[in-house]
Amino acid sequence: MVHTKTDKFIGLEQKYAANTYKPIDVVIERGEGAWVVDVDGKRYLDCLSAYSAVNQGHCNPRIKAAMLEQLDRVTLTSRAFRNDKLGPFLQTLSEVTGYDMAIPMNSGAEAVEAAIKAARKWGYAVKGIPDNQAEIITFTGNFHGRTISVISFSSEEQYKAEFGPLTPGFKIVEYGNVEALKEAITPNTAAILVEPIQGEAGVVVPPVDFLKDAFDVCKANNVLFIADEIQTGLGRTGKLFASDHAGIRPDIITIGKALSGGFYPVSAAIADKEILGLFKPGDHGSTFGGNPLGAVVAKTALDVLMDENLIERAAEMGEYFMGRLRRLECEHIIEVRGQGLLIGMELNVPARPFAYELKAKGVLAKETHDNVIRFAPPLVISKEDIDWAMEHIEAVFN
Ligand SMILES: *Cc1c(COP(=O)(O)O)cnc(C)c1O
Protein backbone atom coordinates (compact mmCIF):
# COMPACT_ATOMS: atom_id res chain seq x y z
CA MET A 1 0.00 0.00 0.00
CA VAL A 2 1.41 3.35 -1.07
CA HIS A 3 0.59 6.05 1.48
CA THR A 4 2.96 8.87 0.76
CA LYS A 5 5.21 10.02 -2.05
CA THR A 6 8.10 8.81 0.10
CA ASP A 7 6.72 5.26 0.08
CA LYS A 8 6.23 5.38 -3.67
CA PHE A 9 9.83 6.32 -4.45
CA ILE A 10 11.24 3.86 -1.94
CA GLY A 11 9.17 1.15 -3.59
CA LEU A 12 10.59 1.96 -7.01
CA GLU A 13 14.16 1.81 -5.73
CA GLN A 14 13.56 -1.44 -3.96
CA LYS A 15 12.13 -2.94 -7.12
CA TYR A 16 14.63 -1.65 -9.67
CA ALA A 17 17.93 -0.98 -7.90
CA ALA A 18 20.56 -3.55 -6.98
CA ASN A 19 20.32 -3.80 -3.24
CA THR A 20 23.77 -2.46 -2.33
CA TYR A 21 22.70 0.28 0.10
CA LYS A 22 20.63 0.56 3.26
CA PRO A 23 19.70 4.25 3.19
CA ILE A 24 17.90 6.24 5.84
CA ASP A 25 14.39 6.36 4.38
CA VAL A 26 14.11 9.98 3.35
CA VAL A 27 13.50 10.87 -0.31
CA ILE A 28 15.11 14.21 -1.08
CA GLU A 29 13.63 16.41 -3.75
CA ARG A 30 15.47 19.73 -3.33
CA GLY A 31 18.47 21.22 -1.64
CA GLU A 32 19.86 24.66 -0.91
CA GLY A 33 22.98 25.34 1.15
CA ALA A 34 22.95 23.11 4.19
CA TRP A 35 19.25 22.29 3.88
CA VAL A 36 17.22 19.74 1.90
CA VAL A 37 13.49 19.15 1.44
CA ASP A 38 11.89 15.75 0.92
CA VAL A 39 9.13 14.78 -1.53
CA ASP A 40 6.51 15.22 1.20
CA GLY A 41 7.65 18.79 1.89
CA LYS A 42 9.58 18.19 5.14
CA ARG A 43 12.74 20.23 5.68
CA TYR A 44 15.99 18.77 7.01
CA LEU A 45 19.44 20.03 7.93
CA ASP A 46 21.91 17.87 5.99
CA CYS A 47 24.60 16.73 8.41
CA LEU A 48 26.25 14.28 5.99
CA SER A 49 26.66 16.37 2.81
CA ALA A 50 26.95 13.28 0.62
CA TYR A 51 30.03 12.12 2.52
CA SER A 52 31.64 15.57 2.06
CA ALA A 53 30.88 15.87 -1.65
CA VAL A 54 28.73 18.98 -1.10
CA ASN A 55 31.16 21.00 1.01
CA GLN A 56 30.11 24.12 -0.93
CA GLY A 57 26.44 23.55 -0.07
CA HIS A 58 23.60 22.10 -2.12
CA CYS A 59 23.03 23.68 -5.51
CA ASN A 60 25.70 26.29 -4.84
CA PRO A 61 24.56 29.21 -7.04
CA ARG A 62 28.00 30.09 -8.39
CA ILE A 63 28.88 26.55 -9.41
CA LYS A 64 25.41 26.12 -10.88
CA ALA A 65 25.77 29.28 -12.98
CA ALA A 66 29.17 28.17 -14.27
CA MET A 67 27.81 24.74 -15.14
CA LEU A 68 24.76 26.20 -16.93
CA GLU A 69 26.99 28.51 -18.95
CA GLN A 70 29.17 25.59 -20.01
CA LEU A 71 26.11 23.51 -20.95
CA ASP A 72 25.47 26.00 -23.75
CA ARG A 73 29.02 25.64 -25.08
CA VAL A 74 30.39 22.12 -25.10
CA THR A 75 30.27 19.30 -22.57
CA LEU A 76 32.50 16.48 -23.77
CA THR A 77 35.42 16.43 -26.16
CA SER A 78 37.32 13.39 -24.87
CA ARG A 79 41.04 13.87 -24.65
CA ALA A 80 41.43 12.81 -28.25
CA PHE A 81 41.09 16.57 -28.67
CA ARG A 82 41.83 19.46 -26.36
CA ASN A 83 39.32 21.82 -24.74
CA ASP A 84 39.59 25.34 -23.37
CA LYS A 85 38.55 24.45 -19.80
CA LEU A 86 40.90 21.67 -18.71
CA GLY A 87 44.05 23.84 -18.66
CA PRO A 88 42.55 26.65 -16.55
CA PHE A 89 41.08 24.11 -14.10
CA LEU A 90 44.42 22.34 -13.66
CA GLN A 91 46.21 25.68 -13.27
CA THR A 92 43.84 26.66 -10.47
CA LEU A 93 44.24 23.25 -8.86
CA SER A 94 48.01 23.64 -8.93
CA GLU A 95 47.87 27.19 -7.54
CA VAL A 96 45.51 26.18 -4.73
CA THR A 97 47.34 22.99 -3.72
CA GLY A 98 50.95 23.82 -4.55
CA TYR A 99 51.48 20.62 -6.58
CA ASP A 100 52.90 20.75 -10.10
CA MET A 101 50.29 18.70 -11.91
CA ALA A 102 47.29 16.40 -11.73
CA ILE A 103 45.71 13.48 -13.53
CA PRO A 104 41.98 14.23 -13.82
CA MET A 105 39.53 11.37 -13.29
CA ASN A 106 35.88 11.05 -12.28
CA SER A 107 35.23 8.97 -9.17
CA GLY A 108 37.31 8.75 -6.03
CA ALA A 109 38.15 5.10 -6.61
CA GLU A 110 39.55 6.05 -10.01
CA ALA A 111 41.76 8.72 -8.44
CA VAL A 112 43.08 6.07 -6.04
CA GLU A 113 43.72 3.68 -8.94
CA ALA A 114 45.58 6.44 -10.78
CA ALA A 115 47.68 7.17 -7.67
CA ILE A 116 48.54 3.47 -7.31
CA LYS A 117 49.58 3.31 -10.96
CA ALA A 118 51.72 6.42 -10.57
CA ALA A 119 53.39 5.02 -7.45
CA ARG A 120 54.09 1.65 -9.07
CA LYS A 121 55.51 3.33 -12.15
CA TRP A 122 57.74 5.49 -9.96
CA GLY A 123 58.77 2.33 -8.08
CA TYR A 124 60.00 0.67 -11.25
CA ALA A 125 61.28 3.66 -13.22
CA VAL A 126 62.91 5.66 -10.41
CA LYS A 127 63.39 3.47 -7.36
CA GLY A 128 64.48 0.44 -9.42
CA ILE A 129 62.13 -2.17 -7.96
CA PRO A 130 62.34 -5.43 -10.00
CA ASP A 131 59.49 -5.96 -12.50
CA ASN A 132 56.11 -6.80 -10.96
CA GLN A 133 57.47 -6.76 -7.41
CA ALA A 134 56.21 -3.36 -6.24
CA GLU A 135 54.42 -3.35 -2.89
CA ILE A 136 52.04 -0.77 -1.52
CA ILE A 137 51.31 -0.64 2.18
CA THR A 138 47.80 0.20 3.36
CA PHE A 139 46.14 0.31 6.78
CA THR A 140 43.47 -1.54 8.73
CA GLY A 141 40.09 0.13 8.61
CA ASN A 142 40.88 1.83 5.31
CA PHE A 143 38.31 2.91 2.77
CA HIS A 144 39.55 3.88 -0.67
CA GLY A 145 36.64 2.89 -2.91
CA ARG A 146 35.07 -0.19 -4.45
CA THR A 147 37.00 -1.33 -7.52
CA ILE A 148 38.49 -4.82 -7.47
CA SER A 149 42.05 -3.57 -6.86
CA VAL A 150 40.96 -1.17 -4.15
CA ILE A 151 38.88 -3.73 -2.25
CA SER A 152 41.84 -6.12 -2.51
CA PHE A 153 43.44 -4.24 0.39
CA SER A 154 40.32 -3.61 2.42
CA SER A 155 40.29 -5.07 5.93
CA GLU A 156 36.49 -5.28 5.74
CA GLU A 157 35.57 -8.90 4.94
CA GLN A 158 32.22 -8.08 3.36
CA TYR A 159 33.88 -5.77 0.83
CA LYS A 160 35.96 -8.69 -0.51
CA ALA A 161 33.95 -11.87 0.09
CA GLU A 162 32.83 -13.50 -3.14
CA PHE A 163 34.57 -10.85 -5.24
CA GLY A 164 37.93 -12.57 -5.65
CA PRO A 165 40.41 -13.30 -7.07
CA LEU A 166 41.89 -10.13 -5.64
CA THR A 167 44.77 -7.96 -6.87
CA PRO A 168 48.18 -8.81 -5.37
CA GLY A 169 50.86 -6.31 -4.32
CA PHE A 170 49.29 -4.82 -1.22
CA LYS A 171 49.98 -5.22 2.49
CA ILE A 172 47.75 -4.09 5.34
CA VAL A 173 49.28 -2.90 8.61
CA GLU A 174 47.64 -1.54 11.74
CA TYR A 175 46.42 2.06 11.39
CA GLY A 176 48.27 4.35 13.73
CA ASN A 177 51.14 1.93 14.39
CA VAL A 178 54.45 3.31 13.07
CA GLU A 179 56.46 0.32 14.30
CA ALA A 180 54.25 -2.04 12.29
CA LEU A 181 54.76 0.19 9.26
CA LYS A 182 58.55 0.11 9.68
CA GLU A 183 58.52 -3.69 9.87
CA ALA A 184 56.35 -4.01 6.76
CA ILE A 185 58.62 -1.90 4.54
CA THR A 186 60.94 -3.83 2.22
CA PRO A 187 63.24 -2.70 -0.60
CA ASN A 188 60.25 -3.36 -2.92
CA THR A 189 57.90 -0.97 -1.14
CA ALA A 190 56.88 1.76 -3.56
CA ALA A 191 54.39 3.64 -1.41
CA ILE A 192 52.07 3.76 1.54
CA LEU A 193 48.45 4.75 1.05
CA VAL A 194 46.79 6.35 4.05
CA GLU A 195 43.76 8.40 5.07
CA PRO A 196 44.80 11.20 7.46
CA ILE A 197 41.48 10.58 9.24
CA GLN A 198 39.51 7.43 8.41
CA GLY A 199 36.05 8.73 7.54
CA GLU A 200 34.24 5.52 6.65
CA ALA A 201 35.83 3.58 9.50
CA GLY A 202 33.99 5.91 11.87
CA VAL A 203 35.95 9.19 11.83
CA VAL A 204 39.00 7.46 13.28
CA VAL A 205 41.69 10.01 14.19
CA PRO A 206 45.17 8.43 14.41
CA PRO A 207 47.56 9.08 17.34
CA VAL A 208 48.96 12.63 17.27
CA ASP A 209 52.37 11.94 15.72
CA PHE A 210 51.40 9.03 13.49
CA LEU A 211 51.22 10.88 10.17
CA LYS A 212 54.43 12.83 10.76
CA ASP A 213 56.28 9.70 11.93
CA ALA A 214 54.93 7.61 9.03
CA PHE A 215 55.99 10.37 6.65
CA ASP A 216 59.52 10.40 8.12
CA VAL A 217 59.72 6.60 7.84
CA CYS A 218 58.72 6.88 4.17
CA LYS A 219 61.37 9.52 3.50
CA ALA A 220 64.06 7.46 5.24
CA ASN A 221 63.20 4.42 3.09
CA ASN A 222 62.61 6.09 -0.28
CA VAL A 223 58.92 5.23 -0.15
CA LEU A 224 56.18 7.50 -1.50
CA PHE A 225 53.54 8.82 0.89
CA ILE A 226 50.09 8.83 -0.73
CA ALA A 227 47.38 10.61 1.24
CA ASP A 228 43.82 9.76 0.30
CA GLU A 229 42.08 13.07 1.01
CA ILE A 230 38.96 12.33 -1.00
CA GLN A 231 36.87 12.83 2.13
CA THR A 232 39.18 14.86 4.38
CA GLY A 233 40.52 17.24 1.73
CA LEU A 234 39.29 20.54 0.32
CA GLY A 235 38.55 22.19 3.61
CA ARG A 236 36.54 19.55 5.46
CA THR A 237 38.85 19.41 8.49
CA GLY A 238 39.54 23.14 8.72
CA LYS A 239 42.68 23.10 6.58
CA LEU A 240 42.94 22.64 2.82
CA PHE A 241 44.20 19.12 3.50
CA ALA A 242 44.01 17.13 6.72
CA SER A 243 47.72 16.37 6.11
CA ASP A 244 48.37 20.06 6.78
CA HIS A 245 47.47 19.56 10.45
CA ALA A 246 50.40 17.12 10.68
CA GLY A 247 52.75 19.52 8.90
CA ILE A 248 53.52 17.07 6.11
CA ARG A 249 53.43 17.39 2.34
CA PRO A 250 52.43 14.00 0.87
CA ASP A 251 54.05 12.92 -2.41
CA ILE A 252 50.66 12.17 -3.97
CA ILE A 253 47.21 13.29 -2.82
CA THR A 254 43.93 11.91 -4.10
CA ILE A 255 40.95 14.25 -4.13
CA GLY A 256 37.38 13.80 -5.28
CA LYS A 257 34.03 14.31 -3.58
CA ALA A 258 34.00 18.10 -2.92
CA LEU A 259 36.00 18.72 -6.11
CA SER A 260 32.63 18.08 -7.76
CA GLY A 261 30.94 20.88 -5.83
CA GLY A 262 28.20 18.28 -5.52
CA PHE A 263 27.30 18.71 -9.19
CA TYR A 264 29.31 16.48 -11.42
CA PRO A 265 31.88 13.82 -10.50
CA VAL A 266 35.45 15.02 -10.79
CA SER A 267 38.45 13.52 -9.02
CA ALA A 268 42.20 13.73 -9.39
CA ALA A 269 45.53 12.45 -8.18
CA ILE A 270 47.88 15.39 -7.68
CA ALA A 271 51.67 15.31 -7.34
CA ASP A 272 54.85 16.97 -8.58
CA LYS A 273 56.31 16.32 -12.01
CA GLU A 274 58.97 13.93 -10.65
CA ILE A 275 56.08 11.47 -10.19
CA LEU A 276 53.19 12.36 -12.52
CA GLY A 277 55.66 13.43 -15.19
CA LEU A 278 56.58 9.75 -15.60
CA PHE A 279 53.28 9.01 -17.36
CA LYS A 280 53.49 8.86 -21.16
CA PRO A 281 50.67 9.04 -23.71
CA GLY A 282 48.73 5.78 -23.54
CA ASP A 283 49.72 4.91 -19.96
CA HIS A 284 46.38 5.89 -18.47
CA GLY A 285 43.14 7.56 -19.50
CA SER A 286 39.44 8.08 -19.09
CA THR A 287 36.78 9.06 -21.63
CA PHE A 288 35.17 11.56 -19.27
CA GLY A 289 38.29 12.51 -17.27
CA GLY A 290 39.19 16.14 -17.94
CA ASN A 291 36.02 16.96 -19.85
CA PRO A 292 35.13 20.65 -20.16
CA LEU A 293 31.90 20.46 -18.14
CA GLY A 294 33.63 18.73 -15.24
CA ALA A 295 36.62 21.07 -15.51
CA VAL A 296 34.40 24.16 -15.23
CA VAL A 297 32.51 22.68 -12.29
CA ALA A 298 35.70 21.67 -10.46
CA LYS A 299 37.46 24.98 -11.09
CA THR A 300 34.46 26.88 -9.76
CA ALA A 301 34.16 24.47 -6.82
CA LEU A 302 37.77 25.37 -5.90
CA ASP A 303 37.14 29.09 -6.45
CA VAL A 304 34.11 28.99 -4.14
CA LEU A 305 36.10 27.15 -1.48
CA MET A 306 38.80 29.83 -1.51
CA ASP A 307 36.75 33.00 -2.22
CA GLU A 308 34.13 32.22 0.41
CA ASN A 309 36.71 31.25 3.05
CA LEU A 310 35.02 27.91 3.57
CA ILE A 311 38.18 26.34 4.99
CA GLU A 312 38.39 28.85 7.87
CA ARG A 313 34.66 28.45 8.32
CA ALA A 314 35.01 24.67 8.67
CA ALA A 315 37.60 25.23 11.41
CA GLU A 316 35.41 27.72 13.27
CA MET A 317 32.08 25.97 12.90
CA GLY A 318 33.69 22.60 13.56
CA GLU A 319 35.12 23.76 16.84
CA TYR A 320 31.77 25.18 17.89
CA PHE A 321 29.76 22.11 16.79
CA MET A 322 32.17 19.62 18.35
CA GLY A 323 32.28 21.63 21.58
CA ARG A 324 28.50 21.50 21.85
CA LEU A 325 28.36 17.79 20.99
CA ARG A 326 30.96 17.09 23.67
CA ARG A 327 28.72 18.72 26.27
CA LEU A 328 25.88 16.27 25.60
CA GLU A 329 25.05 14.19 28.62
CA CYS A 330 24.16 10.70 27.56
CA GLU A 331 25.31 7.37 28.95
CA HIS A 332 25.42 5.98 25.40
CA ILE A 333 28.03 8.45 24.11
CA ILE A 334 31.56 7.08 24.47
CA GLU A 335 33.46 9.70 22.51
CA VAL A 336 33.06 12.72 20.24
CA ARG A 337 36.08 13.11 17.96
CA GLY A 338 37.17 14.55 14.66
CA GLN A 339 38.65 17.65 13.13
CA GLY A 340 36.91 20.69 11.67
CA LEU A 341 33.50 19.68 10.34
CA LEU A 342 34.31 15.98 10.18
CA ILE A 343 32.91 14.74 13.46
CA GLY A 344 32.19 11.25 14.73
CA MET A 345 30.15 10.42 17.80
CA GLU A 346 30.82 6.91 19.05
CA LEU A 347 28.07 5.18 20.98
CA ASN A 348 28.06 2.00 23.06
CA VAL A 349 24.87 0.91 21.28
CA PRO A 350 23.82 0.69 17.61
CA ALA A 351 23.62 4.18 16.14
CA ARG A 352 20.93 3.62 13.52
CA PRO A 353 17.93 4.11 15.83
CA PHE A 354 19.43 7.47 16.86
CA ALA A 355 19.86 8.43 13.21
CA TYR A 356 16.15 7.74 12.73
CA GLU A 357 15.20 9.79 15.79
CA LEU A 358 17.30 12.65 14.46
CA LYS A 359 15.65 12.32 11.06
CA ALA A 360 12.21 12.56 12.65
CA LYS A 361 13.30 15.89 14.13
CA GLY A 362 14.74 17.16 10.85
CA VAL A 363 18.45 16.41 11.26
CA LEU A 364 19.95 14.10 8.63
CA ALA A 365 22.94 12.09 9.80
CA LYS A 366 23.91 8.52 9.24
CA GLU A 367 25.57 5.80 11.20
CA THR A 368 28.87 4.46 10.00
CA HIS A 369 30.18 1.13 11.24
CA ASP A 370 27.16 0.38 13.42
CA ASN A 371 27.89 2.52 16.43
CA VAL A 372 29.25 5.82 15.17
CA ILE A 373 27.17 8.77 13.96
CA ARG A 374 29.01 11.06 11.57
CA PHE A 375 28.23 14.79 11.61
CA ALA A 376 29.70 16.38 8.48
CA PRO A 377 27.42 19.19 7.28
CA PRO A 378 28.18 21.38 4.26
CA LEU A 379 30.91 23.89 5.15
CA VAL A 380 28.47 26.75 4.45
CA ILE A 381 26.53 25.83 7.60
CA SER A 382 25.85 28.79 9.90
CA LYS A 383 26.10 29.02 13.68
CA GLU A 384 22.32 29.45 13.76
CA ASP A 385 21.92 26.19 11.82
CA ILE A 386 24.16 24.41 14.33
CA ASP A 387 22.18 25.90 17.24
CA TRP A 388 18.98 24.67 15.59
CA ALA A 389 20.47 21.20 15.08
CA MET A 390 21.80 21.07 18.65
CA GLU A 391 18.35 21.73 20.08
CA HIS A 392 17.15 18.55 18.36
CA ILE A 393 20.31 16.56 18.98
CA GLU A 394 20.03 17.44 22.68
CA ALA A 395 16.40 16.34 22.70
CA VAL A 396 17.40 12.97 21.26
CA PHE A 397 20.46 12.29 23.40
CA ASN A 398 20.01 14.07 26.75
C1 LIG B 1 34.48 8.20 -0.81
C2 LIG B 1 35.90 7.81 -0.71
C3 LIG B 1 36.56 7.15 -1.76
C4 LIG B 1 35.84 6.65 -3.00
O5 LIG B 1 35.24 7.64 -3.74
P6 LIG B 1 34.13 7.23 -4.83
O7 LIG B 1 33.83 8.52 -5.52
O8 LIG B 1 32.96 6.69 -4.08
O9 LIG B 1 34.74 6.21 -5.71
C10 LIG B 1 37.91 6.89 -1.63
N11 LIG B 1 38.58 7.26 -0.51
C12 LIG B 1 37.98 7.88 0.52
C13 LIG B 1 38.80 8.28 1.70
C14 LIG B 1 36.62 8.18 0.47
O15 LIG B 1 36.02 8.76 1.50
Dump pLDDT digits (tens) for 240-272.
999 999 999 999 999 999 999 999 999 999 999
Measured in Å, residue 3 CA sits from the centre of ligand 1 at 36
Catalytic residues: 143, 228, 257
Same domain, 193 and 177: yes
Same domain, 377 and 249: no
Dump pLDDT digits (tens) for 16-33.
999 999 999 999 999 999
Is the Cβ–Cβ distance between 293 and 63 less than 8 Å? no
Confidence of residue 325 (pLDDT cuts 50, 70, 90): very high
Measured in Å, residue 146 CA sits from the centre of ligand 1 at 8
Dump pLDDT digits (tens) for 61-78.
999 999 999 999 999 999
Rounded average pLDDT over 166-177: 98
- CA 363 → CA 148, 346, 388, distances in Å? 35, 17, 9
Is the Cβ–Cβ distance between 183 and 217 less than 8 Å? no
Rounded average pLDDT over 107-134: 98
Mutate to test the pocket of ligand 1, among 51, 54, 110, 143 (most ligand atoms within 8 A of CB): 143
Question: 80: how many CB neighbours lie within 10 A of its CB?
Answer: 7
Same domain, 131 and 266: yes
Measured from CB, residues less than 6 Å from any atom of ligand 1 are 51, 107-109, 112, 143-145, 195, 199-200, 228, 230-231, 256-257
Count how many Cα atoms sit within 13 Å of the Cα of residue 58 in the half-sphere of its side chain. Answer: 18
Measured in Å, residue 145 CA sits from the centre of ligand 1 at 5
Is the Cβ–Cβ distance between 314 and 340 less than 8 Å? yes
Domain boundary among 250, 273, 307: 307
Question: 234 is in which domain, residue-wise?
Answer: 61-307
Count structural domains, the chain.
Answer: 2
Looking at residue 2, what is its pLDDT? Answer: 58
Distance CA 64, CA 33 (A): 12
Asked whether the whole model's pTM tops 0.85, one would answer yes
Same domain, 174 and 300: yes
Comparing CA positions, the residue from 248, 289, 283 lying closest to residue 266 is 289
Domain boundary among 307, 335, 369: 307
Measured in Å, residue 149 CA sits from the centre of ligand 1 at 14
The alpha helices in the chain, defined as continuous H runs, are 5-16, 49-52, 61-71, 86-97, 108-122, 148-151, 157-160, 178-184, 210-220, 273-276, 292-307, 310-326, 352-361, 383-397
First to last CA, the chain: 36
Distance CA 392, CA 388 (A): 7
- Which ligand 1 atom minimizes the distance to the CA of 145? 4
Same domain, 261 and 318: no
Same domain, 251 and 109: yes
